A and B are shown apart, each in its own frame.
Chain A
Amino acid sequence: MKKTRPDLSVRIGLLRLQNPVLTASGTFGYGQEYAGLVDLNRLGGIIVKGLSLQPRPGNMPPRTVETPCGLLNAIGLQNVGVENFIADKLPFLRNLSIPVIVNILGQDIKEYRKLAERLSSVEGIAALEVNISCPNVKAGGVVFGTDYKAAARVTRAVRAAAELPIIVKLSPNVTDIVNIARAVEEAGADAVSLINTLTGMAIDVETRRPKLHNVTGGLSGPAIKPVALRMVWQVAGAVKIPVIGCGGIMTAADALEFLIAGACAVQVGTANFVNPRATMEIISGIEEYLVRHNFKDVKSLVGSLIL
């Protein structure tokens, strides 16, 4: 008897994804960078590099350094700015058949609101991911991500300004991530995504200088996966809105851990650098797993952790 293929589609509020695999912001450029290596239309969706109102030059190099099973980065949110994104990057993305999610970062609430308004007014954007958690910029960013009241304020402002589903991306650099997740849920977020990078640093002992020009940076990659998984599990147990898991996902098995822990979808980040085809392999691997374990759809697997 021929088995029907499992249904990989998931819903994040009003947003429907053909499968639960998204690309994490800042690790997939504006999509085009991977066009020759990945069948972009097979992705669950693309989350583009964080956008600010004005173009940002970013930090001085060195901006990245490898650590055991991880990558430290202090890019400083270099990006083309919202207008250049709409003019130069969006036309390519619009031609894809998959949802495009735009990650936004403001210096203050007003900027978040302006970004949300501007991006709601153009065709081809499926949702906004509100970055309240970037550790690499001095003003804004992390301040919102570590204070639950500020996080709620940003969320409300974007909610009021945007006609799109909004995902709030949480910082792991907090004492109680559940507290922040609940605050943004209450403030009207359609979903939360976690985690952003963990702040870290590395020193060259020969020169006694920091390896990053910015001194500190954000740690990503397999090294952070257990921390990310624990946070996703805690948050998924505490909020009703969908949770998108992220942090150190390299393989289908990693992605499955996050789904079982309660994430409705996952983001693949650093893995794209190591293996540009990682997302494709993860999608196939999830499907194979569902078949092997007789799940008719991915939804049945979400939050199925046996304690």
Chain B
Amino acid sequence: MVRGARSKMDQVTATVLENRFVASSVYRLRIEAPAIARVVRPGQFLMLRVGQTLDPLLRRPFSIHAVHDSRTVDILYRVVGKGTNLLTAIKKGGKLDIVGPLGRGFSWREDLPSLFVAGGMGIAPLFFLAQIITQNGTGAKTSVLIGARNKIELLCVKELKAMGLQVEAATEDGSAGKRGLVTDLLTRKIITSRPVLYTCGPYPMLRAVAHLAREHGLSCQVSLESFMACGLGACLGCVAEMRNGDLVRVCKEGPVFDAYEVAWK
């Protein structure tokens, strides 16, 4: 098993190679940051300073979406507020102050079938993991279940298929794939192949996947979100409750957790 290790983090100034509109309110940011690209692992994230002014004050956390040639790093982000709005204004050639890579990423098994369950922006970190697992290709089956509100917000499907993955989609309005939630795609047939589950997305979806995994005795890793002030383990602001009652830092002990360890609310 490849352990979800931590990598050496740094504060770097990265050059923006591209900041492109993808669909709906989603953008892809490509930056040149070799120091990060060389060491980053799937599931880890960066803290980005979106501007030089004091409002918004804090950095914003974003997962690593993909890495190319050990030089460039992609981030896939949705515009939801002040910070992400400012981020869209950064042009090619611009500089970004970045801290990372941070957190503990996924631990994965290349020899077992993998099943990714992604909701909305949850595909961002899972895409990177899929990239790594298929690159190292042991031939074990890797499939993706992906859900979104509608067809336009269904991200990365073409790229995932091009990587040779089997992709099934669900949309809430039925404009693509099956109508409904991504968890509706978690059928008995899929579960009987006993894959390792990797999931990221809205909290209710994560909880549903975690419950299913538990019910069927499948190994399952979830990437959690939390409001993060530092991302470094220093402020103790980002904690999530574990089943044993501990409050642990999502930025340091996570963001990826064993689904069994989380106290689902």
Contact = CB atoms under 8 A, between A and B. Distances in A.
B57 A62 contact: no
B55 interface: yes
Given A36-B9, A75-B236, A274 B58 contact: yes
Interface string B197-232: 000000000000000000000000000001101111
Contacts of A28: 234
B254 to A, nearest CB: 13
Q: How large is the interface on B (under 10, 10 to 19, 20 to 34, 35 or more residues)?
A: 20 to 34
A273 interface: yes
Given A250-B54, A274-B58, A58 B247 contact: yes
A65 to B, nearest CB: 7
Contact of A37 (B9, B56, B238): B9
B16 interface: no
Contacts of B241: 60-61
B234 A273 contact: yes
A274 B232 CA distance: 11
B236 A61 contact: no
Contact of A33 (B59, B226, B233, B238): B233
A64 B237 contact: yes
A73 B241 CA distance: 18
B232 A276 contact: yes
Contacts of B57: 66, 69-71, 221-222, 270, 274
B49 interface: yes
Contacts of B9: 36-37
A173 interface: no
A36 B10 contact: yes
Contacts of B11: 37, 275-277
Interface string A26-39: 11110001101100
Interface centre among B11, B57, B59 (most CB of A within 10 A): B57
Nearest to A248: B54
B117 interface: no
Nearest to A70: B57
B91 to A, nearest CB: 22
B75 interface: no
B33 interface: no
B153 to A, nearest CB: 21
B10 A58 contact: no
A199 interface: no
B229 A58 contact: no
A58 B232 CA distance: 18
A272 interface: yes
Contacts of A272: 230, 234
B240 interface: yes
Given A27-B234, A61-B239, A66 B10 contact: no
Nearest to B234: A29
A57 interface: yes
B227 A65 contact: yes
Contact of B247 (A26, A57, A221, A250): A57
Given A63-B237, A66-B229, A273-B235, 10 more contacts: A27-B235, A28-B234, A33-B234, A57-B245, A62-B226, A63-B236, A78-B247, A275-B97, A276-B232, A277-B11
27 contacts: A26-B235, A33-B233, A33-B234, A37-B11, A58-B247, A61-B237, A63-B236, A63-B239, A66-B57, A66-B227, A69-B55, A71-B57, A71-B58, A71-B229, A78-B236, A221-B57, A222-B54, A270-B57, A272-B230, A273-B59, A273-B229, A273-B231, A273-B232, A275-B11, A276-B99, A276-B232, A277-B11
